[in-house]
Amino acid sequence: MLVVVSIEMLTGWKDVARKNHSYYLLNLGCAKNLVEGEHLAGMLQAAGYAPEPAPEAASLICVNTCGFIRPAVEEALEHILALARAKQPGQTLAVVGCLVGRYGRKLARELPEADLLVGPGEAPRLVEHLRTPPPGRLAISPPREIMGLSTPRALATGPGWAYLRVADGCEHRCAFCAIPGIRGRLRSRTLTELAQEATTLGEAGALEINLVAQDLSSYGLDLADGSSLGKLIERLDAIKLIKWIRLLYMHPDSLDQRLIEAIANSLKTLPYFDLPLQHVANRVLKAMRRRRTGAQLRKLLHLVRRRCPQAVLRTTLLVGHPGEREDDFTELMEFVEEFQFDHLGCFAYQPEAGTASARLEAPPAKLARARQRRVMALQKKISAAKLKPLKGAVLPVLVLGPHPESELLGLGRLARQAPEVDGEVIITAGQAKPGSLALCRITKTHAYDLEAELVEGPGDPLSQA
């Protein structure tokens, strides 16, 4: 259920309380997009729209899109066209987000089914554009602001956890990536505002805060007050209601020893390192326009594990990029075997219009997909072997609620498991309040998920972390 986090967030928003106004919101894409969708929902609710779980019952159908890679674009268009076919007279179909930011004018020409197209830069003014439609149905401008405390937010996560978006945009210019062209340059929120929002999230019941940005490790570099991710960690550590702080998507080119030390010294920041390395062969890294060499990436990983012995390492890899030869892929496979990542995702390269890589010749797509399968088959074995020793251990689990496939089972996450992208804990016995931390004994392990039973009796879950 969507809930407005704080009534104070509605300050300055006039509730027009328009009769029979309701909305259906479909969020697509990443966690950062989900947060933006939560703000869209908050703005609509503040303007008098009531949430509807089914599109046919809503006066407004809103699709919050991703446009990062071709599969995401195709998925968004499929959803938009399906909703458009079912649209009834009097309903408004609004398409918002990265897809519009990347293809706005083309969409305005080729997608007449959409009544309103709103890019990321205009998303904070969605309600205004619904009231007064822009010329040509298209509202698009360079992204300059980040929706934060001054914009209503209706949580779609939890219970017990939430995302905290600390920045938008990216200063890196990786050859394969379209994000800087869509989201703009790095724009960080202030330490004070982020601490205030984290406190509000804690008061709303969030024990776990997941920090997200296009490049989290670069947070604060654009601010003149010396803000940094290390300083933000210190501020969040002081918030009593928050128990777990997780850092998601730290670009390896901007992760340094000072930040690693800040994570190691933090009282609440989990030793969870989400580092999208993409590759390790120097030839491919150079073609990708990554700054660090394979040797430097290895050194960085060794530093993380030396300073944080309990570190959980997650990475994403990209195979089939222009310049990748068979020996480069062999080196990548040996690297995956050597470092035994706790979590790993692998993607087959696809050229993205407007990127530097798209102008280069890439290995055949069929070969890229075959390499992807080989990486993931290896990682499945590694993951199963990494989880196997956990059998019998008693560990704190963030209880999420009933399992979606059976009310007889519960669902939760360990500290080593990030939401949406990692495995989960299937709770087979015992009950605990959703949104709470509870001790569980691991009874069975799989390739990615675990089974566990709740442990009865006194005990501090965090003392077992």
Question: Contact at 8 Å (CB) between 99 and 107?
Answer: yes
Question: Contact at 8 Å (CB) between 191 and 199?
Answer: no
Domain ranges of the chain: 3-139, 154-388, 391-464
CATH architecture group of domain 154-388: Alpha-Beta Horseshoe (3.80)
Q: In whole angstroms, what is the distance from residue 394 CA to residue 220 CA?
A: 38
End-to-end CA separation in angstroms for the chain = 30
Report the CATH fold assignment for 3-139: Rossmann fold (3.40.50)
Give strand ranges (E) for 284-370: 312-319, 343-348
pTM: 0.89
Contacts of 175 (CB under 8 A, 6+ apart): 287, 288, 289, 355, 356, 357, 360
* Cα–Cα nearest to 315, from 338, 299, 336: 336
Q: In whole angstroms, what is the distance from residue 316 CA to residue 162 CA?
A: 23
Tokens 């969409």 -> residue:
107
Q: In whole angstroms, what is the distance from residue 233 CA to residue 191 CA?
A: 10
Q: In whole angstroms, what is the distance from residue 343 CA to residue 350 CA?
A: 22
230, 234, 247, 262 from 191: Cα distances, Å:
11, 10, 16, 16
Report the CATH fold assignment for 391-464: OB fold (Dihydrolipoamide Acetyltransferase, E2P) (2.40.50)
The pair of structure tokens assigned to 69 is 């890679």
pLDDT in tens, the chain (465 residues): 334 444 344 434 444 333 468 999 999 988 898 999 999 999 999 999 999 999 999 999 999 998 888 888 889 999 999 999 999 898 999 999 999 988 889 989 999 999 999 999 999 999 999 999 999 999 998 888 898 888 999 999 979 999 999 999 988 889 988 888 888 889 999 999 999 999 999 999 999 999 999 889 999 999 999 999 999 999 999 999 999 999 999 999 989 999 999 999 999 999 999 999 999 999 999 999 999 999 999 999 999 999 999 999 999 999 999 999 999 999 999 999 999 999 999 999 999 888 999 999 999 999 999 999 999 999 999 999 999 999 999 999 999 999 988 888 999 999 999 998 999 999 999 989 999 999 999 999 999 999 999 997 544 565 444
Q: In whole angstroms, what is the distance from residue 287 CA to residue 454 CA?
A: 49
